[in-house]
Structures are given as structure tokens and as C-alpha cells.
Structure 1
């Protein structure tokens, strides 16, 4: 599997391109702020043809370029229905401080074609089978995407659910710390240790590394709950 990733925008959200190899069809995950140019360059460099855009959640730092990317390549965007309204109203999902930083205005619109994600569904796109897990907590419509690799392992695109050493914040509109703990307990902790995690911000990690060192997962495993998440991302 070919995985191309790079941070974009003021909040350095990770955008990813996934394909079976060079010169093949691909999916684009989380085209955030200022993502059009680096996506275009990555498509050219690796001779890729996009067939869909997948969104881990609706926060603008992950979806800001979804309309130009989708409409420019005539491909659909996939998002969980609980976050769909954020595509056209990005201020609905961010803090007043973040909104003020951007002048209180973020103009966005839905792309021409939007399809809604379903929990535990398999998406067969670009020669890949990607499993959708609804992982609410950071937002109501947060999802993670996972796929097998030719080598027998698995990768998970965790969005802002799980980071290296941390988890997504839950204090924004649509966030819910109790739901995040359920997500971590039921959807993250059962995963195999060798699952490679491609997060929405920061470096790549593995489930095994996070199980052994992430303070939030450690607290859950001890049965003592977990502290409130720090502010990361929006």
C-alpha cells in the first residue's frame, strides 16, 4: 500500500493519500486548509487518480478544501451524517477563540456530491477495502478508517480520536468526554498492538505504543477513567 501524508494549514492537520501503489487510483483523507496545492503535487508525483475523499470528522482544519478537491476531480466526499452540517457551517464546531483568530468567518460549502458513512461499513474504493468505525467523542460524527496491508498488518486513520501520546479534545461543540471514553474502550483498546495509527495531527504511532504509554489509555486500562483531554488541534 502506498501512503502519502503531509500536514496542512494553520493547525497542521494531516492529509493522507492512500493507493495500492504508484500510478493507481487513490482516496484522499482530510483535505484541510491550504491542501489543494500539496494534493495536486502528490497526485502528479505519484501518478495517482483520486476516486473519493474521506473525512474523519467535520472540523474545518480537516475539511476546508473538500469542495475544490472533490469538484475539481468530480469525486464524492464521504462523511458521517452527524458531522455533515459542519461542511457548510464550520463555525458551528469550533471555539469562540478559534473563530476570532480567523476573523469570525470561514466561508465553506458542500461539494457537489456528499455520501454518508455508516458504522462498521466496508468501503471498496481504489482497490482498497476500508472499514468505517464511528468513534464519537471529539465530534459527534467522528470516524476512524482502517485497512489491511499486503504485509498482513493493519493501518488506522484515527482523525482526532487518537494521537501519539494523547487524544482529541472534547470541550468543543459536539464533543463529549464520556462518549470519547466509550470509544477508546470499545473501539481503540481492542485493536492489535501492531496496528499502525495515522493520526489527524502529529506523528505516526502504533496501538501497542499507545497502549503502553498514552496516559489516557493507561488510565482506562487501570479502570480509573481518564482525565480531560488537552487542547490539541482546534
Structure 2
């Protein structure tokens, strides 16, 4: 698997491109906006996008989804159906956060915990990790040891839980019980900011690291 990160919009949201090296097929994960920019980079890489994957339904992660899906004629996978209400409120979210308007939509396929989503010969495991939103998911590739974690966990920080449907205790539980057990060696790409590893965050994160939980 090859992984490319393309920050988009004023939110500097990490839109990611997951590519299968053997087939040249790719998935765009969380295209929050600037669709022309993302597609130009995909073209430069010589990849063929055959699906869109979503971690959760906040506007900065899904603002460009409908446009991209319509232009490429590809299906949308994710998030979990617990985010259905958030997806129906994209206009309200756009107004609240000063994001360009985006049409409400439903994915072609709601993903489930433990499901395998394939990108060419890459098999991504869906991990349901609520807390930031009710239907938030992560995508994990056991072979490359990469995970795409959306807005749940960041380098030295955790996601917000004060938005509608968020819950702090659930978010911490998702990180500690669903993400960290995937392995200290796993590198994760968060929804914003630099990559880190689960091991580094377990050792040093002031909110969910081992020392913080013991304290």
C-alpha cells in the first residue's frame, strides 16, 4: 500500500489517498474540499480512484464528497450508519463552521465494525471508534501497519467531544480499547496535523497515554 496525504481547505484537513501498488487502484479518504486539487494530484500519481472512504460525517471531512463521487462516478463507503443524522445536516454544519455549502447525501454503503474494504489488493479493516461522532470509523491496513483515524486521535492530543453526538469517555475508550491494541508500531494519519504512532501516543499523550490513565 502507498499512502499520500493532501491537506485541503482552511481547516487543513488531511485528505488521504490509499493506493494499491500492484493494480494502480486508489481510494480517496475524507475529501473535505478542493476537489480539483485532489484529483490533479491523483492524476499526477497515475492512479485510478474507484471509491471514496469516509471516517465520519463532519463537514470538513465530507464537504467535497458529493462533487467527487459525481465527477468520478465512484461509490462512497462509510462512515457507520450512526452518523446518518450528521450527514443529513451538512448545510447547518457548513453555516456553523464557515465552510462552503455542501449537499446532504448518504453513502452507497454504510460500513460496519470489522468489515474489510478492499482497494485493489489492499484490505483495509474497519474499526468502529465512536466518541468524536457516533459513527466514526478508522481504517487499518495490517500489512503496511498504517491506520487512518480521522479526528479521534492526534499527535499529543485527542479529538473534540463537545460537538453533537460526541462523548469524552467513549472517545477515550475507543482510543484505548480499539486503536492502541492494534500495535505500538502502527503509524496513524490523523484528520489534521502530523502523523504519529500508537506506541508514541500511548507513551506520551497527556490525555490518553498510559501515565494519564493511571493518574
Q: What TM-score does the superposition give when structure 2 sets the normalisation length?
A: 0.91
- Residue aligning to 1:62: 61
What is the aligned partner in structure 2 of residue 73 from structure 1? 72
User: Contact between 2:23 and 2:121, CA under 8 Å: does it hold in 1?
Assistant: no
Q: Show the counterpart of 1:14.
A: 14
Question: Cα offset for 1:4?
Answer: 1.1
Kept in 1, the 8 Å contact 2:91–2:103? The answer is no
Structure 1 Cα separation of the partners of residues 184 and 87 of structure 2: 34
Residue equivalent to 2:47: 48
Unaligned ranges ≥5, structure 1: 225-234
Listed one character per residue, the Cα deviations across residues 98-148 of structure 1 (whole Å, up to 9, x for unaligned) are: 845528x8342326x621100111112222100001100000010000003
Q: In the alignment, is the contact (CA less than 8 A) between 2:91 and 2:102 conserved in 1? A: no
- Structure 2 unpaired stretches of 5+: none
Q: Relative to structure 1, is the Cα distance of residues 218 and 195 closer, same or farther in structure 2, using a 3 angstrom cutoff?
A: same
Q: Quick check: 1:27–1:54 contact (8 Å CA) kept in 2?
A: yes
Deviations 1:81-109 (A, max 9, x none): 111333331256x5xxx845528x83423
How is 1:201-220 mapped onto 2 (pairs within 5 angstroms)? 201-218=192-209
Cα distance in structure 2, aligned partners of 1:221 and 1:20: 38
Q: In the aligned structure 1, how far is the partner of 2:211 from the partner of 2:108?
A: 36
Aligned residues: 214
CA offsets 1:29-71 (integer angstroms, 9 cap, x no match) = 000022x112211221111111110000000000000011111
- 2:187 matches 1:196: yes
- Detail structure 1 runs of 4+ shifted over 3 Å in the superposition: 98-101, 219-224
Partners in 1 of 2:56 and 2:211 — Cα distance? Answer: 24
Match of 1:26 in 2: 26
